[in-house]
């Protein structure tokens, strides 16, 4: 049972390759015929014969264009299917890795990074103007900056509003940063988002 999907995929890939080869041959033959028709149409003297040859050339060239378009479509479909298969494989591997990973309490650094993501999430969505792909790019950018910044001494203890404000400024995020964590409200130590922050590791 394990190898059945692989066999199906191999069979589909073989059919795809054969179809592309056939389309390529058809396109080449159509191109050769179109060239012959073009030469014959230029050489024809009788109006009726020239008109017939021109009409045949137009039909043949259109067939060649449609054949090429279908070939390109098959290639795009194959790339999309391959990308989807890679995504599914990646998701399966990630799920398996998560299942094997021991259940441990997150470290203070991981908690700090999670809080920053939560605080900046609204600004990231606003900056992307609702575009999902651009939003994901911004999330990846933030994660990369957090990965670099976590090596800064005192990272886990840095006030969340200061750290989030620093990263928001570095990423040039628009919108107002609002931080109302339970800790800052309880201690009465809320710091404006634009307050100066201790130097972080280089976040680009």
pLDDT in tens, the chain (204 residues): 333 444 444 577 777 788 888 888 888 888 899 899 889 988 888 989 889 988 998 888 888 888 888 888 888 888 888 888 888 888 888 888 777 765 667 889 899 999 999 989 888 888 888 788 888 888 999 999 998 888 888 898 999 888 888 998 888 887 777 776 544 433 333 333 333 333 444 444
Whether residue 83 is found in the same domain as residue 11:
yes
Residue 40 falls inside a structural domain: yes
- Examine the fold and report which residue of 49, 76, 100 is the final residue of a domain before the chain moves on: 100
Cβ–Cβ under 8 Å, residues 26 and 67: yes
Domain span including residue 28: 4-100
State the residue for tokens 């990308």.
83
Cβ–Cβ under 8 Å, residues 197 and 163: yes
Whether residue 61 is found in the same domain as residue 123:
no
Whether residue 124 is found in the same domain as residue 51:
no
Cα–Cα distance for residue pair 76/54, rounded to 1 Å: 33
Q: Specify the number of domains making up the chain.
A: 2
Residue 202 falls inside a structural domain: no
What sign does the CA torsion over 99, 105, 107, 113 have? positive
Cβ–Cβ under 8 Å, residues 177 and 165: yes
């Amino acid at each position: 049972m394990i190898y059945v999907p692989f066999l199906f995929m191999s069979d589909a890939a073989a059919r795809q390759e054969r179809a592309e080869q056939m389309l390529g041959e058809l396109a080449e033959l159509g191109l050769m015929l179109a060239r012959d028709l073009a030469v014959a149409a230029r050489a024809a003297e009788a109006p009726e014969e020239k008109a017939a040859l021109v009409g045949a050339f137009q039909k043949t060239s259109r067939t060649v264009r449609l054949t090429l378009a279908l070939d390109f479509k098959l290639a795009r479909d194959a790339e999309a299917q391959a990308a989807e298969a890679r995504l599914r494989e990646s998701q399966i591997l990630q799920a398996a890795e998560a299942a094997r990973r021991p259940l441990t309490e997150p470290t203070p650094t991981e908690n700090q990074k999670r809080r920053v993501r939560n605080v900046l999430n609204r600004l990231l969505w606003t900056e992307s103007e609702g575009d999902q792909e651009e939003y994901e790019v911004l999330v990846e950018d933030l994660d990369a900056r957090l990965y670099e910044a976590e090596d800064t001494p005192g990272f886990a203890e840095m006030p969340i509003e200061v750290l989030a404000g620093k990263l928001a400024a570095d990423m040039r995020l628009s919108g107002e940063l609002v931080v109302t964590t339970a800790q800052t409200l309880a201690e009465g130590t809320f710091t404006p988002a634009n307050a100066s922050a201790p130097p972080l590791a280089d976040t680009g």
